[in-house]
A and B are shown apart, each in its own frame.
Chain A
Amino acid sequence: MERWEKTTLNKVLSKSPEREPSFKTTSHIELKRLFTPLDMTDLDYCKDLGFPGEFPFTRGVQPTMYRGRLWTMRQYAGFATPEETNKRYKYLLEHGQTGLSVAFDLPTQIGYDSDHPLSDGEVGKVGVAIDTLKDMEILFDGIPLDKVSTSMTINSTAAILLAMYIAVAEKQGVKSEILQGTIQNDILKEYAARGTYIFPPLESMRIVTDLFAFCKDHVQRWNTISISGYHMREAGCTAVQEVAFTLADGIAYVEAAIRAGLDVDSFASRLAFFFCCHNTFIEEVAKFRAARRLWSKIMKERFKAKRDDSCMLRFHTQTAGCSLTAQQPDNNVVRVAFQALAAVLGGTQSLHTNSRDEAYALPTEDSVRIALRTQQLIAYESGVADMIDPLCGSYAVEALTNEIEKKAVDYIEKIEAMGGAIKAIESGYIQGEIGESAYQYQKEIETKKRIVVGLNQFQVEEEPLRDILRIKPEVEQYQKEKLARVKKERDHAKVKDDLAVLKKAAQGTDNVIPPILEAVKGYATLGEISDTLRDVFGEYRER
């Protein structure tokens, strides 16, 4: 190495310097010019990497990975009415998608019915509008819930939507015990980045742990939470911060569940994770591997989990929405392909690939098909799915995996010193860190320290994209009328009684999920159930 640096390298450097004085990842990790065996001297294969399906799971959570079964191709979709979204789901399933992922509109996510004044203009916009069980019946009409797995991006109202899903399954003759899917149910990152909170943190955590407890007895194959770094990354944080903040949130959930009296091995295997996959390819691959190794150690060493599957970090990945440009939107197809490839090389369990037109609107059918095809190309043509963790042993990948883990540990220790993730969010620390990184990123783009192809370099004169998905304004009226009909036809006395039982449970310590399930079956609305809980728990206001 020294010889090479002094001779061959220096000869070239003295004549033509490198493009930059130093090269750094987005997490400010200084990249060496050349990684060599010298970077691996401390690496113990069995201890640090191990074998697929075994602790510390660096190489993947399943023994055969994609040789056994490909990742689940799961496009996040939902818009307008349940009727229209049902059609999109059937379209996606026909084109080879292997799992569903429900996007709800903002009123549904924040506990307002379509006829609430604050829902004005928002109904059906960023996802599908769900007011009552009736809507959920329409959404999954003709889709066998014993065959598909369904992921629902729902947090403060997760209990209500899961209850509706269970009730629809029951009507299809499918028992809750065999249902497969995920509720996001990660309220902490809502305070930190995404914003769909309703209740204060402690009350929210109580609903989260009530869900853990309910599912371990009744919906055993369900992922009760998807602890998400995605939204914090989209809000601007770096790869290292994404790992650190997500796992710090994970620690907070495990602690809360243990405090609520649950045995760690009774719920830990149902914890799932959700990460972003951004542009910097090698750093992203390393990030997933580092997150897996670090979480397994946290579960085993800190929480004394005994079961192997309690220590497995299983995760969903979505490509980086914030990396998409409105300029030259076809370039986004290529960006997404690289990001998706990194997610697969990082060992993801399921994947959403963004569509090229998402800097403009929700995607059109054509754009979604290209996004899905991108995954199929990786799966069936690239050959990367035929080997397990094929980048393992790369000097650069292992060095970055170590570095990301180390830096994430430093952050987690800092958060612990503040009293944990909830305290770090309440004090605004995590939001501040995310905001700082977002601002630096924007400055780098504007000073051209960071090149975004088509945006700040290689621009062309172009017409903006006009062929985009538009949500018709009539959707709001349609939902309101349907809601009014359901309200008129239901058993009013039952709704009243059910909500009273729920209120009592919320005031005391009984699990709130069974009364929510009973209420949705009687067609109590999402807004009514949320209001009942608001009365007891109060509402969170941003500082």
Chain B
Amino acid sequence: MPRKIRVLVAKPGLDGHDRGAKVIARALRDAGMEVIYTGIRQTPDQIANAAIQESVDIVGLSSLSGAHNNLFPKVVQILKDKGAEDILVFGGGIIPVDDIPGLKKAGVREIFQPGASTEDIIKYIRENVKV
């Protein structure tokens, strides 16, 4: 039997809107994944360290405050610097469509926008994480 997919759901920056992050954490858990939720107000360093320590396969970042262009690429970069570039990073929140190409270029694999369903996210993770 394949092992369970391990996911870190994280809230970078000062944003306290965690409804989406919590709903997604629970939906992924119900879909049979092992999920660690960081809680709010995490720095990119804290998130990357947690991802490595918990040996997750993938990190989901949630931000609704508009700080995604600063914070999401930093998480990717720190993971890379620590030799953990095999941990995939995706994101979601209030993210204008015009920001998506830049985020993808910086190594964020996928961005889910308002209205995305938990099913879409579960499907994305299953297709992109090899266990």
Instruction: State whether the Cβ of A120 lies closer than 8 Å to any Cβ in chain B.
Output: yes
Give the number of chain B interface residues (Cβ < 8 Å): 32
Cβ-defined contact, B16 with A359, below 8 A: no
Cβ-defined contact, B71 with A121, below 8 A: yes
Q: Report the minimal beta-carbon distance from A475 to chain B, rounded to whole angstroms.
A: 11
Instruction: State whether the Cβ of B34 lies closer than 8 Å to any Cβ in chain A.
Output: no
Cβ-defined contact, B16 with A195, below 8 A: yes
Instruction: State whether the Cβ of A126 lies closer than 8 Å to any Cβ in chain B.
Output: yes
Cβ-defined contact, B27 with A195, below 8 A: no
Instruction: State whether the Cβ of A223 lies closer than 8 Å to any Cβ in chain B.
Output: no
Instruction: State whether the Cβ of A542 lies closer than 8 Å to any Cβ in chain B.
Output: yes
Interface string of A224-259 (1 = CB under 8 A from B): 000000000011100000000000000000000000
Cβ-defined contact, B39 with A542, below 8 A: yes
Within A306-355, which residues are at the interface with B (CB < 8 Å)? Answer: 322, 325-327
Complex Cα distance, B17 from A360, in Å, reads 15
Cβ-defined contact, A438 with B66, below 8 A: no
Cβ-defined contact, A435 with B22, below 8 A: yes
Complex Cα distance, B70 from A121, in Å, reads 5
**Secondary structure call for the B interface:** loop
What B residues does A119 contact at CB under 8 A?
A: 14
Partner of A442 from the list B15, B27, B41, B70 (CB cut-off 8 Å) is: B27
What B residues does A455 contact at CB under 8 A?
A: 115
Complex Cα distance, B26 from A399, in Å, reads 35
Cβ-defined contact, A106 with B114, below 8 A: no
What A residues does B98 contact at CB under 8 A?
A: 466
Cβ-defined contact, A122 with B13, below 8 A: yes
Instruction: State whether the Cβ of B97 lies closer than 8 Å to any Cβ in chain A.
Output: yes
Instruction: State whether the Cβ of A446 lies closer than 8 Å to any Cβ in chain B.
Output: yes
Residues of A within 8 A of B (CB): 106-107, 109-110, 112, 118-122, 125-126, 190, 193-196, 234-236, 322, 325-327, 359-361, 435, 438-439, 442, 445-446, 455, 464-466, 468, 470-471, 473, 542
Residues of B within 8 A of A (CB): 13-19, 22-23, 26-27, 39-41, 43, 65-71, 94, 96-98, 113-115, 117-119
Q: A120-B70, A359-B115, A466-B98 are in contact. List 6 more A-B contacts (CB 8 A).
A: A195-B16, A235-B17, A326-B114, A439-B23, A464-B97, A542-B40
